Amino acid sequence: MLDNELHQNGGVQVMNKPSSSLNHPLSSEMCSSASLSVPSTPKDGVVVKVSHVGACYSEGQMRRKRIRPRFPGVEVAGTIYDVSNSLPNSNFCVGDKVILFPDEDLANSGYVEYIAIDDTCKVLQVPQNISLEVAAMLPGGALSAYAAVLGAKPHVEKLQQVKSCVNVLVVGGGGLGLWTIRLAQLLLGNLCNSVRLFVADNSIDKLLTAQDHGCYDIVHWNEEDHEQYIVERTLDACRGGVDVIIDYVSSPRTMNRSLKVLNREGLIMVGGNSMKEVSISLNALAAKQQSIVGIPKGNMNQLRDLVNFVSEGKLSPPCYAVFPIEDVNQVFDDLCECRITGRAIFRLGNSATVTDNQ
């Protein structure tokens, strides 16, 4: 997972506390090293010079507050450094902006500034009008959210034939939730009239950020409140229950809570990795004609769609901040404590300032 969802509340982007939550911290000397070797260019492949990477980690470890950063992760953007002379019909040129399709084997390979890619089908060129910091977010959070919205869309359209308004609840107000708001606005039409999109989270700061991004309403799932009170609050906010739930946490608590607010013929899409089993009554599901499905993994064609949407101005990225890679330990610590809302992107190479798009 890419997001720290449903965690304790805290200030936003406060970076004055020493790192203490990292399971395997990364040394600043390693991150700033200029002596990392450039790999040989594979036959029929390319070498990519990494420019930006998203802050990626395991959701299970995040929820135990022992983060193990994933490097380079599944959100990698950079430029073509070298192209194999034997690559047939190559459209790649040195200096081209590119992003990499998510590769789990590569994601945990460690800190690198140059990546050798054997299969160029996993490399996607990026138009010049898209910055590399934005491009880096597309293969991870944006692609996961796109797959979720595409998966929910047929069910929403089916319900629209018999209901004047369809309620959609997104569980998790971090980067995935913000991308879901943006993509729902693009793909599901008018979110105020025919589709109402709600966001639930434990963090007030994340909920306020989600509200700023245009969701219909927010629901505070304060884990210190009584469970029935949270359910009643959700039903009251959603005015009669929820038709589609996209759960980016999928823990036992969020799943049981979601089932209590889900309408008849409702759909739950699960995409979390809580590392815990959930007990569900199949009889109850059948009686209410409800469905639970996993969020499908995005594909290269969908990633191309996202690049085109952004390039054409149809899709804007959610709020994000760019940090120098030397600040990696502090940033992950702030993510763990919910002091950063939106997305965190690392910039490799010379960088001395923190920037954001707000």
* Cα 340 to chain centroid, rounded: 14
Q: Which residues pair with 198 in a beta bridge?
A: 169, 217
> What pTM value is reported for the model?
0.86
Q: pLDDT digit string (tens) for 299-341? A: 999 999 999 999 999 999 999 999 998 888 888 888 877 788 7
Other beta carbons less than 10 A from residue 263's beta carbon: 19
SS3 327: helix
- 195 strand-pairing partners: 166
Residues in the chain: 358
Query: Does 39 sit behind a cis peptide bond, omega within 30 degrees of 0 on the bond before it?
Result: no
What type of residue is 153? K
* pLDDT tens-digit readout, 213-237: 999 999 999 988 899 999 999 999 9
From residue 106, how far is each of 70, 221, 268, 353 by CA, in Å? 10, 35, 31, 28
Place of tokens 């977010």: 137
Give 91-148 pLDDT, tens digit per residue.
899 999 999 998 877 877 777 899 999 999 999 999 999 999 999 999 999 999 999 9
CA proximity to 69, closest of 41, 119, 30? 30
| pLDDT-derived band at 57, boundaries 50, 70, 90 | low
